[in-house]
A and B are shown apart, each in its own frame.
Chain A
Amino acid sequence: MKQLAFIVFQDNDNARYLVDAITEDNPRAEVQYQPAMIRIQAEKRLEIRRETVEEKIGREWDVQEMLIDVISIGGNVTEDDDSFVLEWKN
């Protein structure tokens, strides 16, 4: 069975930029739209990079800002000042 790392956001203005950034940095990611929410999943690993988000959103962006719009995640979390990574390691 596939091991999908995933993240789910509220379907709002912030999330649109996050989704743009994530699909750019994770070309194999699949985006699913469901009522009021957006789910992004990818085999094993999914990464959000601050730099890409800042490019899309046009301002400085703190990685922890995603806490406002995130609904759910799947995978082991590694976070630092520049990125947020979800990953299955086994």
Chain B
Amino acid sequence: MTMQKKKLGLKDKYRYLTRDMAWEPSYQKKADIFPHEDFEGIKITDWDKWEDPFRLTMDAYWKYQAEKEKKLYAIFDAFAQNNGHQNISDARYVNALKLFLTGVSPLEYGAFQGYSRAGRQFSGAGARVACQMQAIDELRHVQTQIHAMSHYNKHFNGLHDFAHMHDRVWFLSVPKSFFDDARSAGPFEFLTAISFSFEYVLTNLLFVPFMSGAAYNGDMATVTFGFSAQSDEARHMTLGLEVIKFMLEQHEDNVPIIQRWIDKWFWRGYRLLSLVGMMMDYMLPNKVMSWAEAWEVYYEQNGGALFKDLERYGIRPPKYQEQANIGKQHITHQIWATFYQYSHATNFHTWIPSEDEQQWLAEKYPDTFDKYYRPRFDHWQEQHANGQRFYNSILPQLCQVCQVPALFTEPDDPTQLSHRQIVHEGERYHFCSDGCCDIFQNEPEKYIQAWLPVHQIYQGNCGGGDVQTVVEKYYHLKNGQDNLEYVGSPEYLRWLAWKKLATPQAPAGTGDRRDAA
């Protein structure tokens, strides 16, 4: 087929956008205009070497984004008009969305802010254009997610005040502090953290198997916004890889700096994604793949190919990769067990997995689930059946860096909690792992400032001296409605009514009322 070449080719269009529209400053010094470009130690000798392989120009960008939006909003309308929320697999599923809306959607907004700032700070026009487009994408993601979830907010609890919760609720400091850490770094570290380590290496785990799971659980709205967002991620991932290659090719002095950032942000991202792993293994009633399987495909296999490719630049795989690979058999069970105990302080419900679900977990985790985790669930199930649903009233020790409670076990011994501590300028700091301890030691001046929810509660900075007051007054959660055990919750009863199901005579656990924590 012969094409008439009236129009400019992709390469020419991109060159005009990213080169010919830039200019050299004449009456201000470049260093004054871009003051953040040097302090991290990254050396750029030729910004013209920056290439965006997608070479997307603004006119094409608007055209394709507009088409995606039209498709997406038509589906949101159809979903709402057809009471799509009643066609999901089970109401328990919505608890994953509550975690998504409070934990992930605000990060999209953080990414919008981060890319807007990073784009301002680069003197290279190609990098500025890439950051600008990504900033607009991220703003679109947070908006579409809020719109999608607003329908669920009409029918389910715990989705009502997500932005307020994101800034306050204890476990939401895990995602919040992750992004605050990235956004308060220099522009090159920000790109390494978010474009490369997060977008390229890790977001597949959130947006591909989890969203496929949303589809499998009848949630048309979420799979649609998820895949629509992820269609932008394909560009972001490409940018992430190009950014790393660009920095590495610019100067050999950049290699050790970038390696340290990769080590750091791989581990930060891995810890953050333990929440996603829990959503996949425990919160999707119809399961697509286990966290361990997703980790194998999207990290071990894809990350393996990636880091082999980067070897030629002198980059090795992330320092604590092996610990993460071992952890895939354990972390989701450990973190679900933690949320189960602290459900009185969450905006979502928890439950003991059904017998079928535990069987699935045992098949997917043949070396760990029955041996280490099923007995604990059995014990709690029995307590619940005796009218004593377990809630832990002692607030957990948080890691100074990732802010996850110190709930993970030693890589070489799943019966021992992993705990590291060091004294810095007369103060003792606690960590969940070697990975987080290393991160602190590289930048203690940053992490001593961490706002740790448990410390803040105990210091009286969160609206009251007991957990219930904190939950109601400071988190804006309605006790007994938004939180606690799923079985017997108002949401559970509403779902049974919608589905015209009778309340089970003796549900998995009766006695769902909680004694005060």
Q: What distance in Å separates the Cβ of A2 from its nearest Cβ neighbour in chain B? A: 7
Of A1, A36, A64, the contact of B304 (CB 8 Å cutoff): A1
Determine if A80 and B234 form an interchain contact, defined as CB atoms under 8 angstroms apart. Answer: no
Say yes or no: A2 contacts B288, CB within 8 Å. no
A67 and B235 form a contact (CB under 8 A): yes
Bound complex: CA A75 to CA B306 (Å): 7
Closest-CB distance, B356 to chain A (whole angstroms): 19
Contact A51 B1 (CB under 8 A): yes
| A16 to B338 Cα, complex, angstroms | 43
* Contact call B302/A4, Cβ cutoff below 8 A: yes
The DSSP consensus for interface residues of chain A is: mixed
Q: Is the CB of B231 within 8 A of A71?
A: yes
The bracket for how many chain A residues form the interface is 35 or more
Q: Is B230 an interface residue (CB 8 A)?
A: yes
**How far apart are the CA atoms of A49 and B35 in the complex, in Å?**
43
Decide yes or no: A72 and B64 within 8 Å by CB, A1-B304, A4-B305, A37-B227 being known contacts: no
Chain B residues near A34 (CB-CB < 8 A):
209, 212, 288-289
Query: Which segment of B307-315, B358-366, B396-404 sits at the interface?
Result: B307-315
Interface of chain A residues 48 through 81 with chain B (CB within 8 A)? 51, 54, 63-65, 67-81
CB distance from A22 to the nearest CB of B (A): 15
What chain B residues lie within 8 Å of A80 (beta carbons)?
A: 9-11
**Mostly helix, strand, loop or mixed at chain B's interface?**
helix
Are B54 and A79 in contact, with the CB atoms below 8 A? yes
The answer to whether the Cβ of B91 comes within 8 Å of any Cβ in the partner chain is no
Question: Would you call B204 and A72 a contact (CB within 8 A)?
Answer: yes
Contact with A along B304-336 (1 / 0, CB 8 A): 111011111000000000000000000000000
CB of A3 within 8 Å of the partner chain: yes
Point out the residue from A8, A64, A89 that lies within 8 Å of B56, measured CB to CB: A64
Residues of A within 8 Å of B227, CB to CB, are 10, 36-37, 71
20 further A-B contacts with Cβ under 8 Å, apart from A76-B241, A77-B238, A79-B53, are: A8-B208, A10-B227, A36-B211, A37-B212, A63-B10, A67-B231, A67-B234, A71-B207, A71-B227, A71-B230, A71-B231, A72-B208, A72-B234, A73-B237, A74-B305, A74-B306, A77-B54, A79-B55, A88-B308, A89-B309
18 CB contacts below 8 A, A to B, read A1-B308, A6-B302, A35-B215, A37-B227, A64-B60, A65-B64, A67-B54, A68-B64, A68-B67, A70-B234, A71-B227, A73-B234, A74-B305, A77-B54, A80-B9, A88-B306, A90-B308, A90-B311
